[in-house]
Each structure stands twice: as C-alpha cells, then as structure tokens.
Structure 1
Amino acid sequence: MKFDIKEEDMIIKPYKTEGPIYIREQKGFFQRIRRNLGWLLMLTFVAIPWLQYKGQQAVLLDVATQKFTIFGLTLLPQDFMILALLFMVGAFALFFVTNWLGRVWCGYTCPQTIWMLMFSWVEQRIEGTRNQRIKLDKSKWTLSTWRKKITKHTAWIVISVLTATSFMAYFIPAKSLYMEMFTFEWSGITSFWVFLFALCTYGNAGFLREKMCTVACPYSRFQSVMFDKDTLVVTYDSARGENRGPRKRKADPKALNLGDCVDCNLCVEVCPAGIDIRNGLQYECINCGLCIDACDDTMDKFGYQKGLIKYASEKQMEGKKTNPFRLKLVGYGALTALLIISMFAWMLQRTPIEASVLRDRNALYRVNYEGLVENPYTLTIINKTQQPMHYSIAIEGLAGATLTSPELTLVQPGVMKSVPVTVTADGYDIERKVTKLKFIVTAQEDASITITKDSQFYKN
C-alpha cells in the first residue's frame, strides 16, 4: 500500500513544552479501569492508618523510636533486611511489568498520575470543559474568573492538606494526629512536614503535572532498556490510519485516498502528557490508554473498526506473534518470585526477641570471698512483640555453675533493656581456663519465644 504523505507530516513533532496542557475529559473502558483503581488506591492509602490490630494502630512507622509496626510485626533497625528485600521485590516487579506491559505503572497506579488526574477532574468540575478552560485563561480577569480560580485552588489546597495529613498518619498515631489538627495543637515539626508534603502535592499535581513524568521521573528515561519487540505498548496502526484526514461520516475513505484516521486530534487532547501517539513510540507516553478510548469513540461514530490505536507489540504490528516466554520477561519474573520467597523465608525464621551478651570490660573474672570464680556480664534483651513480656534467664554448658540474675525481667514492647548478670563457679571443677557456655532467654508468656546466645567463662 502506498501512502500519499506530505513532507511536513513526516517530521516528528517534539513533546509539547509551551504553555499548559488542557486535558479533555474522556470516558471509556480504560478510563473506567484507571478511575476505579485510582479510587481504590486512594481510599486504601487513607484508610490504612485507621486500621486497628489487637488494640493498636495496625501500621505505624515510628521513625522517632526506630520501630515499625505492621499488623503485629514489629521491625527494629536489626530487621531492616526485610525492607531491603521489599524494595528489591518492588524493583524487579516493576521491571517485569514494564517488559510485559510497558509503563502501565505510570498510567494506572503511580501516585503522581492518580493525583494529577484527580486535580484535573476537580478543575473540570469548576472551570468547565477543555475549550471552556482555554477560553477562561485567555479572557480578561473578571469577578467570575476570580471566583472559579479561587474555588479551584482552595479545593486543591484542601486535597493537598488531607493527603499530607494522611501520609503523616503512617508515622504519627492517626487519632492523636487528627485530634491535634482540629484543636490546633500540632507541634512545630509536625506542622513543618505536613506543610512540606502538602506543598509538594499541590505543586506536583496542580502545576508540574506531566513535567514530573516526562522530566523529573528517571523511570521514563531508562524504561527503554526494559522494552523489547514483544512489549505491549500503546500503538497507532499507521498502515491502517494513513493517509489521515477529515471527511464526512458517510464518505468512502478509499475514494478519497484516506485511511481510517479522521485527524480529529482527540488522541492528543486527552493525553495527560500532551503527545501525539501517531508520531510513534515516545518515552513521554505513560501507557494510560486514554487515546485508545478517544479513538475508539471516533471509530464508532464513523462506523469503522475499533483498534486504530491499541495495546500492541512491535511484533504484532509486523504480523508476528508475541513471545510470552522470552528470556528477559521470564528472568524478571523468576527474580521477583525468588525475592518474595526469600522475604517470607526470612520472616518465618525471624524470632520476636533479640538478645546480646557483653562481658564486663573491666575484668575478665574475679574471685569472691568464698574463693569462687565470678564472671560478670551484661545481657541486652529486645522485646520485638507488641505486648509486655517477662523473660527468664538460664545458662547451659557449664556444670556446677550458678547464675545470679533477676527471676523475671519485664521488657515493654519494642524496648531494649540491659540486665546485669553474674555466673559463679568453683575454679577447681573447671578444667579449662576458657569454657564455652550459653545464655537462654525465654518469655514466660510464650515458651516458643526463646533465644540462645553463646559466650565464654574465664578462670585464673
């Protein structure tokens, strides 16, 4: 098939950088998926800090005390290995999804996209449709213009403050945070962080918008490394669409030497990034599918087949089959699964208690008035549960030795407590100058919570 394409149409237009992008509101299959998913993610984000588990906030990341609580699991600095595994799982899962479906993370689940489109939705409710907003910005400032602008920015600020407060509720107990907000009793540090996050939300979602995705976000820059000819991305079928051009609905495109693209430009007007997908794959594209919904609506009106713009791989556009078991995709998936298994294995072997034994630095041993050898130690116990626990201490491996320590040691949740203990033995009963022994710490409330630590006993 031979296309009659003008020379100026062959020039790929750069990403739109001049002026704001006025997004046209679009309905359709992919828009419904994104909107429903966006609402679900936003409500989950707001609701999680309010969840209760065993009478306490289920998720609380207490940075001040270096204690993360997640549904009864208390993570201390010694447990941050699991956070490293979690970040690695997220990274490889992102690589896997990107190699499979392109930038669907950006188009459907990225907070920047969700909040940007929410701010755009508010803007459309207050200032009107795309054409009305363009006309409003070009017109002189009147009382009506001021009213609409003030209402819009007030709504944006309210959403930004609520977003920032919801975010801070992950780090400060939600009940006290909101109670102090309504009574104007926030501390200076709380006010600073809420103001900072609100400002970032207001600026990113209200003003920077697509610039965060196309300029600031590094993901758009290195995504091409994860793409291949089998990756499903938003694609324009140029073989079917060209030559593009306007026509009447009942006109025969073949008689006019035209393709199916009616050049309505709706695919550009609905794009959050302001690009023209007909110019080919561009790194600014966030794979949101809004242009697909807009194009399908137009195809319906003209009685043409849908799918002029669709999710397709380069191989599919060449008439070939996509390989779902390619090495790169399988590799990313396998690494993601392996890291998830490692994370759960680490969690299963994790004990809700941590302990360490330190010898007295001033003296390896001492002889008491009875002629017995004493070794002083400092035993540090960390309670990694969410309940106060009483711990007993015992020794093993040194026959005839006695332990001088509290009968039970109370340790509050997430607290580290040091307990001085002394091991006493008759030097004549011990053959070696250095003998190995074990300290066994057991919770009285749950005998399965126990830990053993090795140490040495010295004599003269």
Structure 2
Amino acid sequence: MTERIRATIIDTVDPRKPIRLTPAQAGGPIHTRSFAGLFRNLRLVGGGLLFLLYFGTQWLTWGGRQAVLWDLNKQQFHIFGATFWPQDFILLSALLIIAAFGLFFITVLAGRVWCGYACPQSTWTWVFMWAEKVTEGDRSQRIKLDAAPLSISKLLRRAAKHAVWLAVSLATAIAFVGYFTPVRELVIDLYSLQLGGTAAFWLFFFTAATYINAGWLREQVCMHMCPYSRFQSVMFDADTLVVSYDAARGEQRGARRKDANPQAEGLGDCIDCTLCVQVCPTGIDIRDGLQLDCLSCGACIDACDSVMDKMGYARGLVRYTSERALEGGQTRLLRPRLIGYAGALVIMIGAFVWALEARPTLSLDVTKDRTLYRENIEGQIENMYSLKVINKTQQPHDYLITLGEGPYELHGPHQISLAAGEIVDIPVSVALVDDNVNAHEKLHFSVTDASDPTRQITAPSSFIAPRVR
C-alpha cells in the first residue's frame, strides 16, 4: 500500500510541497470509499425508482397482454392501453427532441445532474461498485487486495465479484430484451435452454455490454465516450448550479487539531483529508475547479459535510452553487437562456400531447394493381385495387368502405369487421359507369367506423381508362 501511495506523489523543487496525483491522473483502477449523506440518499431513492420502473414494467399485464411491449414481428408498440405503429414513429422522433431540450434545460439550470442521478451508465456503475464492496471489502481492503499476491482467498473474492456482476448484467439484458419479446416466454425459454438464435444473441450482447461498460470501463465511458461531457461546458453560464469548492473559505488547506483555531494558524476550513477525492467515482479532485469529468453526483459534498460536522465547521465548503455566487454575487435562476428552453419545452410538450390525441386510430393505404385497366363482363372499364386497413385501437370495430363522388362504382366488400390491432388487405375493383371520362382521373376511398361516423379516413388513388376521343 505504501508503494501505491508513493506512486501518486511527484517530487517538486520544494520537498515540502509535492504534487499529489488524483486517482484519475495516476491511472489504474479507481477505488471509491463508502460514505453517507443527503445526496447519496437522493441517488438511492432515484435509482431505486428507476430500477423498479425498468425491471418491473414489463411484468405488468394490460388487456391480457404484456403492458409495455415492442412487438417487432407484428410491428406494434404497446404502451398500456395505446398501440403505436410504424406510421406513428414521427411521435418517437418528437419525443426524443423533447428529451434533448429537457436535457439542455436541466444542464443550464444545474449542470450534469442527469449524469449523477439518472444516467444508466452511472446508475449501473454505482451498483457494480456496491457489488465490489460486498465481495472485496471497502476501499482500503480493495487496495490491499490489488497489491496482494495471488491466493485462494483473492481468487474466491474476485470470482464472487464477477459472478455478481454477471448476474446483474444478465438480469439487465433479460429486462431489456423483455421489452421486445414477451418476457415471461423469454424467461421460460432461457430456463429450459430453448432460446431462439436471435434472442440468445441479444441476451449475450447486452449482458456483455453491461458487464464491460459498468464493470470495466466505468468512468472511462463518461470521460471519453459520452459526447455529453464534451458539449456541456458550452451550455454552462455564470448562474449554472455546479458542484464547486469554495476556495476563498477553504484555503490555505492543511491538517490541524480539532480544537485548533485555523485563523491563528493561517489555515482555511479544508483540512486536506482528501475524502472528497476518495469518494469520487471518476477519481478527480473537485478542489482543482470545474472539470469535464465531474458528474455532479454530490458524493464529494456528502464526504466534505461529514468532515465539517466532525470539525465543528459550517457545511458547504463543497456545495452546489454558481460561479456568480462564489464571486460574491447572487445566483439568477430566471435568465433568458433558461426561459427560452423552458418556453420551447412547454410548446413542444403541448404540441406532442395534441399530436398524441389527434393521431388517427384507423389507417388506410391504397395500392393500385399494375394492370392499367380491363373490361368486365358488362363492358365497363375496370381498375383493380388493394386496400390495406389497420384497426389501431384495442377494441374490435365494424367499418364501412365507400368511394367518393364520381362516375364510378365500387365492386367488393362494403363492410368489414376488424379485431383489435388487426390488419387486412381487401381486393376491390372500381368500374367506370360514364364513358365520357378522361384517361386519368382522381378518386378517393374512404373507410368509416360504423359506430362512430366521425372516425373516418380517406386515401386518394387514380383511375386509368382509354383516352376519350
């Protein structure tokens, strides 16, 4: 352990002032220390709710089926009582745009709190670090274990850690794939070793991805692979709330007795215990200022507040604050950029809700037969069509098929019954009953709900006939 500590110290011209490297600067694994506090509790509650939502939602049932299921075979996306189709994917694009603006809004307001409290990468990383603590011990024990020679005890502890990691990874993969294929059938097939090739591939892929990202890469994903950390600084302003060290209050830092008077010794409130560094999941020193690698998780705040309590100092040496407040000003919550994002969010959410309510629950696609035209037994010119009708609701309906005004006559079924979510292709023909019609004429097919005439959809097509001379 002594060698590890010495490896993180760089000698300078003045031996009394060596440069201490942070875990992130020294390289190697980052071993975080256990801690408690307000922001840790907030993260536990938030993470618990997200885990309950992620792992529990697919086990709910609605109308005899899985409540949330993206059925790729049937091209249907079920969310409780609503069913979405490929034609509705524009709503998904709108939802992603709203989520992006929501992220912009929260970033301008409070920095990278999404990363610290809700991002799947950081949330799963905290779970994997918990598994590490349970199997290998707290920070000092893990450092000793790393430096210890290979032994049976070390092998057993490492095997237990990786077994827990793999179990969590497999559970994560099952939950994810369970949103695309019925999860109950998936679990039964997995237990009986009767998985299909596609399901087996995706289970393996997401198990490996979770195991590698949260177990091995961890903070490297946040620091080098996530684009959010790269453009976040562009969105910060002087009033953005970020995790900050109050240098004016903390410096000069240094060790002292609990009953000592720091002012008399020329010291600030920071006792240089480095607990803020030891609890950081990315291994940085928040006292070095705002950094791209900071996740705004508040771990250093909890650690520092606990030290301040023991020393009898006021809390908040490390806290959520703004650059303006650190300089002695007053943080402005209402400012043009934040108001602009908030206004855009309100407008987009309103438009999304309206589009969601107004989306058609009935779909009609008309495909004309490749044959230009033909003559029927009555001597009339006739064109052939295929009507694709989709009942997007979760109840069966009767529908009426009609043709718009014009010199045409519809031959084929005029009424159909569709079950919930059913798709049918209906062949029909249209005959020309007036010979004095141009070669190319527009016509319109309509499908109307027999029980609710307001639910109607119309699709255009063309009618081809010999040119009138």
- Give the structure-2-normalised TM-score: 0.90
Asked whether 1:252 is paired with 2:261, we answer yes
User: 2: distance between equivalents of 1:444 and 1:54?
Assistant: 24
Identity %: 44
User: 2: distance between equivalents of 1:17 and 1:453?
Assistant: 66
- Equivalent in the alignment of 1:397: 405
- Equivalent in the alignment of 1:201: 210
- Equivalent in the alignment of 2:448: 442
Distance 1:276 1:40, change over 3 A: same
Q: Encode CA deviations 1:322-352: one digit per residue, 9 max, x unaligned.
A: 2222121112222222221221121122111
Distance 1:14 1:8, change over 3 A: farther
SS for the counterpart of 2:459 is: strand
Q: Encode CA deviations 1:244-277: one digit per residue, 9 max, x unaligned.
A: 0000100110111100000010000000010000
Q: Encode CA deviations 1:279-307: one digit per residue, 9 max, x unaligned.
A: 00001000000100100000000100100
User: Of 415, 427, 430, which aligns to 1:408?
Assistant: 415
Distance 1:323 1:30, change over 3 A: same
1:12 Cα deviation after fit: 9.2
Distance 1:397 1:317, change over 3 A: same
User: 1: distance between equivalents of 2:100 and 2:15?
Assistant: 44
SS for the counterpart of 2:103 is: helix
Q: Which amino acid aligns with 1:443?
A: D
CA contact (8 A) 1:53 1:72 kept: yes
- Equivalent in the alignment of 2:385: 377
SS for the counterpart of 2:269 is: coil
1:213 Cα deviation after fit: 0.8
CA contact (8 A) 1:398 1:436 kept: no
With a CA cutoff of 8 Å and minimum separation of 6, indicate the structure with the bigger relative contact order. 1
Q: Which amino acid aligns with 2:411?
A: T
- Equivalent in the alignment of 2:6: none
1:376 Cα deviation after fit: 2.9
1:58 Cα deviation after fit: 1.5
CA contact (8 A) 1:12 1:279 kept: no
Asked whether 1:20 is paired with 2:29, we answer yes
Q: Which amino acid aligns with 2:405?
A: G
RMSD, aligned α-carbons: 2.4
How many residue pairs match? The answer is 453
Q: Which amino acid aligns with 2:230?
A: R
List runs of 5+ in structure 1 lacking aligned partners: none
Distance 1:426 1:233, change over 3 A: same
CA contact (8 A) 1:373 1:427 kept: no
- Give the structure-1-normalised TM-score: 0.92
User: 1: distance between equivalents of 2:302 and 2:461?
Assistant: 69
SS for the counterpart of 2:281 is: coil
SS for the counterpart of 2:295 is: coil
User: 1: distance between equivalents of 2:203 and 2:338?
Assistant: 40
User: 2: distance between equivalents of 1:156 and 1:446?
Assistant: 55
- Equivalent in the alignment of 1:292: 301
Bigger Cα displacement from structure 2, 105-114 vs 378-387: 378-387
1:435 Cα deviation after fit: 5.4
Asked whether 1:422 is paired with 2:429, we answer yes
CA contact (8 A) 1:393 1:405 kept: no
SS for the counterpart of 1:87 is: helix
Asked whether 1:237 is paired with 2:246, we answer yes
SS for the counterpart of 1:427 is: coil
- Equivalent in the alignment of 1:311: 320
- Equivalent in the alignment of 1:128: 137
Q: Encode CA deviations 1:102-137: one digit per residue, 9 max, x unaligned.
A: 000000000111111111112112211111111111
SS for the counterpart of 2:25 is: coil
User: Of 190, 203, 209, which aligns to 1:181?
Assistant: 190
User: 2: distance between equivalents of 1:15 and 1:426?
Assistant: 82
1:388 Cα deviation after fit: 4.8
1:356 Cα deviation after fit: 2.1
- Equivalent in the alignment of 2:78: 69
1:177 Cα deviation after fit: 0.8
CA contact (8 A) 2:241 2:321 kept: yes
User: 2: distance between equivalents of 1:218 and 1:17?
Assistant: 24
1:452 Cα deviation after fit: 1.7
Q: Encode CA deviations 1:42-92: one digit per residue, 9 max, x unaligned.
A: 111001111212221121112344322222322222211001101101111
Q: Which amino acid aligns with 1:380?
A: K
Q: Which amino acid aligns with 1:376?
A: M
CA contact (8 A) 1:74 1:386 kept: yes
| Structure-to-structure mapping, 1:103-114, within 5 angstroms | 103-114=112-123
User: 1: distance between equivalents of 2:361 and 2:385?
Assistant: 23
1:407 Cα deviation after fit: 4.1
1:373 Cα deviation after fit: 4.1
SS for the counterpart of 2:77 is: strand
